[in-house]
Amino acid sequence: MSGTGTGSAGPGGAGPGGAQRFTVGCVQLTSSDDLQDNIRTASAAIRAASAEGAELILTPENTPFMSLRRSESLANAAPEESHPALLAFAELAAELGRWLLIGSSTVRLGPETCANRSVLFDPSGAVAARYDKIHMFDVEIPDGQTYRESKTFRPGREAVLAELPWGKLGMSVCYDLRFAALYRSLAQAGAAFLSVPAAFTEFTGRAHWHVLLRARAIETGCFVFAPAQCGTHAGDRRTYGHSLVVAPWGEVLADGGEAPGVVIAEIDLAKVAEARRMVPSLQHDRPFAPAGEALRQAGE
């Protein structure tokens, strides 16, 4: 587990400056296959969130570019240090003096390989943490769409914990949401907040999005910040929207609905300690034999 940044706090504790409250903003987009237009649109939404007082601003997965065509994704990819979108967003974070998490960009690792990378900028525009999506969305959806992320992306191998002025942030991306062990490990390592930038499909989102995000918040006693893509994209790809901010007890504090925009919520860090005090399940893990091992032993 890795991450860099400024200041830290234990689970549910105040940040280094003693701040117990801050304002978060989740940006909801309908990103297209036009890189420069997406940068302009996302930048305008980030400015709007900042103007509303958001001190931490998060954007969805695939903020700079969305296409179902692998060739187009590769053509618009670039190494992190020269990625036009990440360079623009670094400058914007510094201009606004805000913490800014760009949900994910296609970052080139080699001629035919990329990372689906979430990048956190500090208020000076420096990279505070980066996370490469671990779980690849290789799925055939009943609505007729097929996804094979593993053809383009190299899976990440490391959970990432970043330090914010108010506490620690556990980073993830979209399909990671279905793998609860990742979030439990982040919470037990000190995360008070979880980021889940996403481009959830409309079909799966209607069935599972709210339920899974609330479950991850309840299981970990963390705030969950989930900025999302919405609407119809290139290639008739459809995403669910409903950017959410969820409290540690499972309450939905903000819901972005189905249209592009910004949702704002005030975060009270004391709620983390309160939820974990009422149900201290993070302290109650017990060792057990995996199901397959138990069955094998029973048959011997």
Instruction: Find all residues with CB under 8 Å of 272, minimum gap 6, and list them.
Output: 11, 12, 167, 192, 221, 222, 223, 248
Please confirm, yes or no, whether 61 is among the known catalytic residues. yes
Give the Cα separation of 46 and 25 in Å (integer). Answer: 8
Q: Mind giving me the DSSP string for 49-61?
A: HHHTT-SEEE--T
Sign of CA dihedral 178, 184, 186, 192: positive
* CB 168 within 8 Å of CB 19: no
**Which of 26, 174, 222, 230 is an active site residue?**
174
Give all strands (DSSP E) within 111-229, no chain letters.
113-121, 127-132, 138-140, 146-148, 160-164, 167-171, 191-195, 223-226
**Which of 26, 55, 114, 133 is an active site residue?**
133
β-strands 223-226, 191-195 pairing: parallel
* CB 21 within 8 Å of CB 201: no
* CB 245 within 8 Å of CB 225: yes
**Which of 61, 149, 163, 202 is an active site residue?**
61
Please confirm, yes or no, whether 151 is among the known catalytic residues. no
Cross-strand bridge partners of residue 166? none
Give the Cα separation of 130 and 220 in Å (integer). Answer: 22
DSSP 208: I
- Structure token pair of residue 102: 């760009």
The catalytic site residues sit at 61, 133, 174
